[in-house]
A = this chain, B = another copy of it.
Amino acid sequence: MALVVQKYGGTSVDNLAKIENVAMRVIKAKEAGNQVVVVLSAMAGETDRLINLAHQITDSPDEREYDALISTGEQVTVSLLAIMLNKMGYPARSFLGFQVKILTDGAYKQARIVNIDTMAIKNELKNGVIVIIAGFQGVDSDNNITTLGRGGSDTSAVALSAALHADVCDIYTDVDGVYTTDPNICSKARRLSKITYDEMLEMAMLGAKVLQPRSVEMAKKYQVPLYIRSSFTDEGGTLVTKEDSAMEREVVSGVTYDRDQAKITVVHVPDRPGIAARLFTPLAEHHIVVDMIIQNASVEGFTDLTFTVSRKDIKEATRLVEEAGKDIGAAKVEVDENVAKISIVGVGMVSHSGVAAKMFATLAHEGINILMISTSDIKISCVVQAKYTELAVMVLHDTFELDKRS
């Protein structure tokens, strides 16, 4: 008998007909002889509705109360599914974070799971009961409700899979798997049947919205096999797993893009120790995440520093950097909000030379100027002007023959 964890996202449970569809899938897994644990998100739009209520009151709602508020959506879906399954003759029981209990640290809005007590769940499974768990939520050691951040239900599902030693963790969503790139931009995009944790992690961080990056990290750490599937079809699916020697080592697995980028350049900065710290510490203190950072070669004791932040942070970041720039004697601060980041991802890259050169040549051939470059073992990212986003994705998809992947 296998233990299967199934996670369903908000678009899979946003009305009773869809919850019934979920119930049918759960029953199918149960009838196949599995023990089944289901993790649910809130109905699509519900969490945003609650966030909006809080933000109508204030821009910075008390974080403890904010988490108590926005965790209610999952309580509704898990109990509705339990009512549905019980009515269909399949004993089912819902669990909230405090009932499991899913213990987290005390970092409201982005808590990390510290421990999961599996006893109650295992007892129910032993008795043939389908266990339904509210995603996205936990409690800290004082029983305050915490939430795990955007997409946190993915993390709930993976953490439960790890704690229960599940045989597979099915992530049901509204797409039927992970694609070589966004099919909305590139009609030649192909679904990948298999992808490594590292590739999935890069793609998740680079803007493919299929999974919360932290859930992929955790799946990798505990070697939880993830299966990304659509809740509306039995076809397709992408298995996210560890690198397999038998697995064909494709050079490039996918092309991703991220339009949520803005570029700041601090011009003519004296090149001496402590300057970078002076610039970036205020940003960190204001919880502004800096993505790429490039420092030009120093000329006559001066350099330029360029970095990117999320567009929503650009105003505050500019203000902070202008202040710091004055202190350190920078000539000026330049801002460009019309940029995008285009990346290629692939585990094979590490053992193939010339991948970066091929990427740069492809973009150059189309007259796309590269503004910034950042590389890792399994990805290369280029910041380009935003208007070239679609073009860059399509020509890179062609160059690396991703339409021939499967």
Contacts and interface: CB of A to CB of B under 8 A. Distances in A.
Contact of A58 (B64, B66, B87): B87
A78 B68 contact: yes
Chain A interface, >50% SS class: helix
A26 to B, nearest CB: 15
A72 interface: yes
A29 B93 CA distance: 42
Interface string A88-105: 000001101011000000
A54 B79 CA distance: 9
Given A50-B76, A72-B72, A94-B68, A83 B99 contact: no
B83 A61 contact: yes
Given A16-B53, A16-B56, A72-B75, A83 B65 contact: yes
A96 B96 CA distance: 13
Number of copies: 2
A61 to B, nearest CB: 4
A79 B66 contact: yes
A62 interface: yes
Contacts of A68: 75, 78-79, 82, 94, 96
Contacts of A79: 65-66, 68-69
A256 B56 CA distance: 43
A62 B58 CA distance: 38
B76 A57 contact: no
A338 interface: no
Given A68-B78, A72-B75, A75-B68, A83 B96 contact: no
Contact of A143 (B58, B76, B98): B98
Given A64-B93, A66-B83, A71-B75, 8 more contacts: A16-B57, A50-B76, A62-B86, A65-B80, A65-B93, A65-B94, A69-B80, A99-B144
18 contacts: A50-B76, A57-B80, A57-B83, A58-B83, A62-B82, A62-B87, A64-B82, A65-B79, A65-B82, A66-B83, A68-B79, A68-B82, A69-B75, A72-B76, A75-B75, A96-B145, A98-B143, A99-B143
> Closest 8 CB pairs between A and B?
A69-B79, A65-B82, A62-B86, A58-B87, A68-B79, A61-B83, A65-B79, A72-B72
